[in-house]
Amino acid sequence: MSRNDSNPGNLARWLQRYGNELGLLFAILVVVGITAGMDDSYRQKPSQNAAEILRQASLLGIFALGAATVIIAGGIDLSSGSVIAFSGAICTSIMIALAPVDDAGNLQTRELGAGILCAAVAGTLLVAVLIGSFHAWLITVIGLPPFIATLASLVGLRSLARVLVQDVTAAVTTQGRNTQIYVNDASFRSWGSRWWIPLVIFLVLSGLIWILMSKTVIGRHLYALGGNEEAAKLSGIRTDRLKWLAYCVGTVTAAIAGILYSSYVGMSNPATQGMGYELNAIAAAVVGGCSLAGGIGTIPGVMLGALFLRVVIDSVAKTVKTNPDEFQGLIVGALVVLAVAFNELRNAGALKKQFFPGGLGVVNIFILSLLGGVITAVLSSDYKLMIGGSTAAVILGVLALKKFLEMRSRN
């Protein structure tokens, strides 16, 4: 902290400016503390748990950075999950297409060599730039809404990847068509399996995108584009080029994540790889403080948002003993709603706002009470009906009191 920050006014402004990041840090510590109190593995194997959380958070954070750049620029990219699957298919397809063949005609993917690995990565990133350019063309020239343009890629790219993998395996291997491509090269496998490699890539990308967004004219123009596109155009900003850049950053970061995910499992499986990850990317960006209206968000916030999301998912896996994967979508969805609602209420003045006006408010008091009871019941291992019913009754009482106070304040 500098000498000027010792002034109470400066300290208040500093806290207000970085309030979201500080809140996320506090939330991460709280979730880790609760998980450590409920599960022994955090205390018995702290280094293994930390390494796995950092690896998973880095993989999520890499493509969340691209999603955040698009959101700050006023757009939305729904294609991240399919770009991850498509990039894995492209990368492994190039590898087996260039792999040596033994005397029996079998592919040798155990020692591919640096040249083949570099060619596969370069080819995959080039394809990612082409996908981002296609998104920008659909949006700026054809005039499609970003939601529709990237939704088409979400549906189409995964299907194309599945067909591509079958055609490539039929053309290159002697076993005929296959829905998966396996690569056993040790160097390739290490990219995703060594926990520190995704972390280093994540930190480097975060630094580069932070410099782009915070220290360059292009970054300020991206914020201006997201805040008010018409005003940005009238100011002479070339908005079409900025959209191209934002969507290319989104697809390139997703492609890097796709290469790392494929390397972790040693194969490409477009049918399931990256399924639903676009929601995780948007969730990490929103939880990190990015506004879906555009023009607001920071790269450190996105980094912490990805870490917080991963810590919460890991906490559910540790504390819910029965089928924890089934709760992942529920947790991510709830966090997105809470993050967006918190940002909206922080701007609108939560203390003066009426949450349950009229008949719609009464109906939603019952909906929230029922939802809270159901979630508590399914998360409980014993006495589900009693715990769920008690929770619903408590929530109903609190919200009814809130409704009563709102009615009194109006009178």
Query: pLDDT tens for residues 163-221?
Result: 999 999 988 887 778 889 999 899 999 998 899 999 999 999 999 999 999 999 999 99
Structural domain includes residue 234: yes
Same domain, 218 and 70: yes
Same domain, 52 and 195: yes
Structural domain includes residue 84: yes
Structural domain includes residue 5: no
Count of positions (residues) in the chain: 411
The residues of the chain scoring below 50 in pLDDT are 1-3
At residue 377, the pLDDT reads: 80
Structural domain includes residue 349: no
Nearest CA among 346, 347, 319 for reference residue 331: 319
Structural domain includes residue 350: no
Same domain, 122 and 246: yes
At residue 98, the pLDDT reads: 92
**How far is it, in rounded angstroms, from Cα 289 to Cα 307?**
13
The total of structural domains in the chain comes to: 2
Same domain, 217 and 366: no
Same domain, 287 and 404: no
pTM of the model: 0.86
Contact 315, 81 (CB under 8 A): no
At residue 380, the pLDDT reads: 72
Same domain, 339 and 369: no
* C-alpha torsion angle, residues 86, 79, 277, 155 (rounded to 10): -70
Nearest CA among 191, 196, 164, 166 for reference residue 262: 191
At residue 1, the pLDDT reads: 44
Identify the burial level of 374 via C-beta atoms within 10 angstroms of its C-beta, where 0-12 means exposed, 13-18 middle and 19 or more buried.
Answer: middle
Same domain, 371 and 262: no
Same domain, 243 and 299: yes
Rg of the chain in Å (alpha carbons): 24
Structural domain includes residue 186: yes
Same domain, 288 and 380: no
Structural domain includes residue 352: no
At residue 143, the pLDDT reads: 92
Domain-ending residue, one of 317, 343, 369: 343
Same domain, 268 and 185: yes
At residue 346, the pLDDT reads: 63
Structural domain includes residue 4: no
List the beta bridge partners of residue 268. Answer: 181
Q: Please enumerate in sequence order all residues whose Cβ is within 8 A of that of 17, keeping only pairs 6 or more positions apart, or say none.
A: none
Same domain, 364 and 330: no
Q: Which range marks the domain in which residue 393 is found?
A: 359-409
Find the CATH number of the domain harbouring 252: 1.10.3470
Same domain, 399 and 297: no
